[in-house]
Structure 1
Amino acid sequence: MTDIALAVENLSFAYGAKKALDKIGFTVQSGECTILLGPNGAGKSTLFSLITRLYDSRQGRIELCGYDLKRQSLKALAKLGVVFQQTTLDPDLSVSQNLRYHAALHGISRKAADKRIQEELERLDMFERRGEKVRLLNGGHKRRVEIARALLHKPKLLLLDEPTVGLDMPSRQAIVEHVHALVKQQDLAVLWATHLIDEIAADDSLIVLHKGQIKAKGKLTDVLQATNCADAGQVFQKLTQNPEEQKYPAGHKGSQV
């Protein structure tokens, strides 16, 4: 039976009187890429802030690889790798220096860290650039470094918060292909927040989040059948927009990327 990497139960969060998440619940399995699809303001970033414990919720429960996030925070967060929407690399350090610093925070020895750094950078075709300062890299290459960093401590769950925003099409496609390959090769669980329809693979799971509520969840094929839609773009439109609105989210055919 497939292991559950992330379980969210009855989770709510509010900014004062404004409710950002309203009693949501879902699971992410090992070896599964789950796309968290929603427009701006849907609650995606709030959810990620709760999973990473940047925020704390009084309502609901989050479990990472069997560890309760509140009661067993260190053990739970040790299973987590994260790529935030805004870059968090030190621009004045080299690629290797950034990755070694992250490895040291996780208690990885220098010898083991160098081996893992080489492995992850080679997978992303970035090893030859390991000595370059981060500020000299373009957006796509910075994202590759951040993905490599997030995987150094061998997490069971990878969170990706709009990781391809602002990248050109080749860079976006390379990251999408790399992440989906990791899911299959390493039995990795991925929760990928996006509003770009073309980043969704046919065998992905899908969560549609709108105004803090889950409107649909399950395998993409099951969601399409349940909503009587032909593709994810139609699902997005049907569940998150007013009937008179005819725009598809970015990345859907017919829209600008």
Structure 2
Amino acid sequence: MNTLELRDLGFAYGSRRALDGVSFSLEPGTFTALLGPNGAGKSSLIALLTRLYELQRGEVRVCGHDLRQAPRQALARLGVVFQQSTLDLDLSVEQNLAYHACLHGLPRRLAAERIERELERQELTPRRRDKVRLLNGGHRRRVEIARALLHEPRLMLLDEASSGLDPASRDGLNRHVRQLCREQGMAVLWATHLLDEVQPDDHLVLLHQGRVIADDCAGAIGGHRADGLAHAFDRLTTTKAPS
């Protein structure tokens, strides 16, 4: 069973079409880069998957659960890191995690065990009592990832998660999420507009003007050129999508 299945997804803001016929799927334990220029529809897609926006057309299934017909079961399998931080800056790292565990209805003892596990895994144990506002951008992202993993999701969505980070922190976060993907067997959808966050063996979905214009292994899309992916990205995204 695929972890995520999208079929003919469409969405518009009034007369402006943001997504048009988007279809692709994610297998368990795979890292998928959702690549596209700014305005391609990546954030709109994440908003639909998390039900910040209501589906207008098409079908979404998460671990077999229809997002429209069984939203609670579908959303329970999701972990999400949004582009804009949603942490409470005046709470400590541990308090942010405990609050999220409470929202998910985790029993107190189980929540404490999982918080300890994620603090250790994200290398945040020494900062557990620090207020979030004292952390740098990279550590804040790690808190958000720890929070998203508390309920043991099968699918992790990250929307431009490296936005605002310095190059070293961006690279570290990207490598860290890939490691979690391998260790946890989660499917990861990493939305980005940065080519250097994509590796040749990644599953790559290229989004442009609300449409999927490539869906394959990144190496296959890029071909044999050293700058193959950059060349393919420029060629595919500078051509106006058909109306």
For normalisation by structure 2, the TM-score amounts to: 0.95
Q: Who is 2:182 aligned against?
A: 184
**Following TM superposition, by how much is the alpha carbon of 1:228 offset from its aligned partner in structure 2, in angstroms?**
7.8
Q: Which amino acid aligns with 1:168?
A: D
Unaligned 5+ runs, structure 2: none
In 2, distance between residues paired with 1:217 and 1:232? Answer: 13
What RMSD in Å do the two structures reach over aligned CA positions? 1.6
In 2, distance between residues paired with 1:228 and 1:207? Answer: 19
Is the aligned partner of 1:165 residue 2:182?
A: no
In 2, distance between residues paired with 1:102 and 1:206? Answer: 31
**Following TM superposition, by how much is the alpha carbon of 1:229 offset from its aligned partner in structure 2, in angstroms?**
8.2
8 A Cα contact 2:219 2:229, kept in partner: no
1:180-236, Cα deviation, whole Å (9 max, x unpaired): 1111111110001001111112321001101001110111122224x9884322221
In 1, distance between residues paired with 2:226 and 2:140? Answer: 36
In 2, distance between residues paired with 1:214 and 1:72? Answer: 26
1:151-170, Cα deviation, whole Å (9 max, x unpaired): 11000000000000110122
8 A Cα contact 1:24 1:214, kept in partner: yes
CA, structure 1 residues 228+19, in 2 after alignment: closer, same or farther (shift >3 Å)?
Answer: farther
Q: Which amino acid aligns with 1:78?
A: A
- SS state of the match for residue 4, structure 1? coil
Q: Who is 1:106 aligned against?
A: 104
Q: Who is 2:116 aligned against?
A: 118
Q: Who is 1:235 aligned against?
A: 232
Unaligned 5+ runs, structure 1: 244-257
Aligned partner (choices 19, 23, 27) of residue 21 of structure 2: 23
Q: Which amino acid aligns with 1:30?
A: P
- SS state of the match for residue 147, structure 2? helix
Q: Who is 2:66 aligned against?
A: 68
In 2, distance between residues paired with 1:52 and 1:15? Answer: 17
For normalisation by structure 1, the TM-score amounts to: 0.90
Matches within 5 A, 1:130-149: 130-149=128-147
Aligned partner (choices 195, 209, 212) of residue 214 of structure 1: 212
8 A Cα contact 1:79 1:157, kept in partner: yes
In 2, distance between residues paired with 1:170 and 1:159? Answer: 22
Matches within 5 A, 1:11-90: 11-90=9-88
- SS state of the match for residue 152, structure 2? coil
Task: List 4+ stretches of structure 1 deviating above 6 A.
Answer: none
Aligned partner (choices 217, 221, 224) of residue 222 of structure 2: 224
**Following TM superposition, by how much is the alpha carbon of 1:109 offset from its aligned partner in structure 2, in angstroms?**
1.5
